[in-house]
Amino acid sequence: MHWDSPKLLLLLWLLPLIVASLVYARRKRQRAAARFLDHPMLVRLQPTAETWRGWMRATLLLLGVGMLVAAAARPRWGVYFQDVRSRGVDIFVLLDVSRSMTAQDVRPSRLERAKSDIRDLLARVKGDRVGLIAFAGASVVTVPLTTDQGFFEMVLDDIDTDSAPRGGSLIGDAIRKALDSMPVEHDRDQVLVLITDGEDHDSFPDEAAAAAAERGVKIFTLGLGDVAEGKRIPLRDEHGGLQFLQHEGQEVWSKLDESVLKSVALTTGGAYIPARTSAYDLGQIYEDHLAALAQGSATTERRRRYRERFQWFLAFGLGCLLLEMTIPRYPRDNSPRTVSAEP
């Protein structure tokens, strides 16, 4: 048996709490009645509770709640096989994590906005292999090509400016790292999505783009940041105070450099998306520019699946709760009552 949401089974700890609540409620009713009536009168006036009724109602309530919790955890058993159609595209996202990406001309920052839009991309690439490279003064493959989007998102959440060693921004090295990490395959389209503010420190990105073009790898570039004025790069001191990056006594203002990004995209037959400081939907960009690449290269994979069985638990749990509601706490007394009056 497999459970889709096994953490929900922790709610079964509600059962002993329900038992304790039932016992407390029964004793509270008894104490309340005893405060108003003496025991001989209480025995005559209060209906006699049959033990089996209490046990039956409690058992049905506990079974009902337990079965509903089990249904929420979505149990599965019984194997079947399903043909899953895969489009067959390899996508490496190259994410700039240099200090300039912390500039806040894009809210909340260039880097956090890029991470948010990468999540939008993941929602549109079901079945494709996606990888992630974080780069600054060096490039690091943080996620190899994979279809495990849960793992990808877990790593993406932890990406920050410390995810790549050394300062700087070497776009060309990031492209070369992606080409080295991407297997040469002729039956799959291959794409690089470069997200950066365009700053490059002599890493020869045009030469790297030419190498990508020779392999048929398209590069789509997204430029983040203000083109005209730019923005200062925030830093936190050891006491948490806000400062700004300086060079030779002057504050550094980071601007979006679009020239490199346009050239790289043009060389590989990709496209440059000038996001700048405006909102953009990376998932929609995928639909507009990348999804068509996969046409004609789909593959089919046979995968093992387990059948959903939560319906049984749900039906049984609801049945127990409905039955518990139909059992009265006290037996019905249909015998005729006589009232005698003394003269």
Which CATH number does the domain housing residue 235 bear?
Answer: 3.40.50.410
Question: Within this chain, do residues 171 and 235 fall inside the same structural domain, yes or no?
Answer: yes
CA distance 23 to 337: 32
Instruction: Using the predicted structure, report yes or no on whether residue 177 has a pLDDT greater than 60.
Output: yes
Domain membership of residue 55 (yes or no) is yes
- 313, part of any domain: yes
Decide if 242 contacts 234 (C-beta within 8 A): yes
Do residue 230 and residue 173 come from a single domain? yes
Do 182 and 121 belong to one domain? yes
Kindly state whether residues 71 and 103 are assigned to the same domain: no
- Please indicate, yes or no, if residue 331 is contained in any of the structural domains: no
Residues 14 and 108 both lie in one domain: no
Write 279-286 long-range contacts (CB < 8 A, 24+): 280/117, 280/222, 281/117, 281/120, 282/117, 282/118, 282/120, 282/121, 282/193, 282/222, 283/117, 283/120, 283/121, 283/123, 283/124, 284/120, 284/124, 285/121, 285/220, 285/222, 286/121, 286/124, 286/125
What does the pLDDT read at residue 1?
76
pTM: 0.60
What pLDDT score was predicted for residue 286?
Answer: 72
Q: Please check whether residue 174 lies inside any domain of the structure.
A: yes
- Reduced 3-state DSSP string for 241-270: CEEECEECCEECEECCCHHHHHHHHHHHCC
**Percentage above 90 pLDDT, the chain:** 34
**Cα Rg for the chain, rounded, in angstroms?**
33
Query: Which segment of 78-92, 227-241, 278-292, 293-307 scores lowest on mean pLDDT?
Result: 293-307
Tell me: do 116 and 47 sit in the same domain.
Answer: no
* Residue in 125, 130, 95 with CA at minimum distance from that of residue 113: 95
Closest CA to 219 of 199, 196, 201: 196
Residues in the chain, overall count = 343
342 is a domain residue: no
Range of 65's domain?
A: 2-79+307-326
What per-residue confidence (pLDDT) applies to 330?
Answer: 65
pLDDT at 247: 66
The predicted structure's pLDDT at residue 78? 83
Regarding whether 317 and 267 lie in a shared domain, the answer is no
Overall average pLDDT of the 175-193 stretch: 87
| pLDDT tens column, 77-131 | 888 776 665 556 889 999 999 888 888 888 888 999 999 989 988 888 877 889 9
Beta bridge partners of 130: 91, 146
Confidence of residue 187 (pLDDT cuts 50, 70, 90): low
Mean pLDDT for the chain? Answer: 82
Residues 137 and 58 in one domain: no
- Given a contact cutoff of 8 angstroms between Cβ atoms, the answer to whether 220 and 193 are in contact is yes
Domain shared by 157 and 257, yes or no: yes
In a domain? residue 337: no
Q: What is the rounded average pLDDT of the residues 275-297?
A: 68
Q: What is the pLDDT of residues 188-247, one digit of tens each?
A: 788 999 999 888 888 999 999 999 999 999 999 999 888 888 778 777 666 666 677 766
Q: In the chain, pLDDT over 70 holds for what percent of residues?
A: 80
Listed range (22-36, 60-74, 133-147, 159-173) with the worst mean pLDDT: 22-36
With beta carbons less than 8 A apart as the criterion, state whether 116 and 106 touch.
Answer: no
The confidence score (pLDDT) of residue 237 equals: 64
Q: How do residues 16-69 score in pLDDT, each as one tens digit?
A: 998 998 888 878 877 776 676 666 666 565 655 556 777 888 899 999 999 999
SS3 96: strand
**Is 73 within a domain?**
yes
Same domain assignment for residues 50 and 104: no
Specify the number of domains making up the chain.
Answer: 2
CB distance 185 to 90 below 8 Å: yes
- 338 against 260, higher pLDDT: 260
Residue 176 has pLDDT above 90, yes or no: yes
pLDDT class of 261 with cuts at 50, 70, 90: very high
Q: Which residue would you say has higher pLDDT here, 46 or 179? A: 179
Q: How far apart are CA 209 and CA 40, in angstroms?
A: 97
Q: Is the same domain home to 171 and 220?
A: yes
pLDDT, residue 91, reads 92
Query: What is the pLDDT, as a whole number, of residue 159?
Result: 94
Query: Which uninterrupted H or E stretch holds 84?
Result: strand 75-86
Asked if residues 142 and 180 have their Cβ atoms less than 8 Å apart, the reply is no
247 within domain boundaries? yes
Question: Does one domain contain both 230 and 283?
Answer: yes
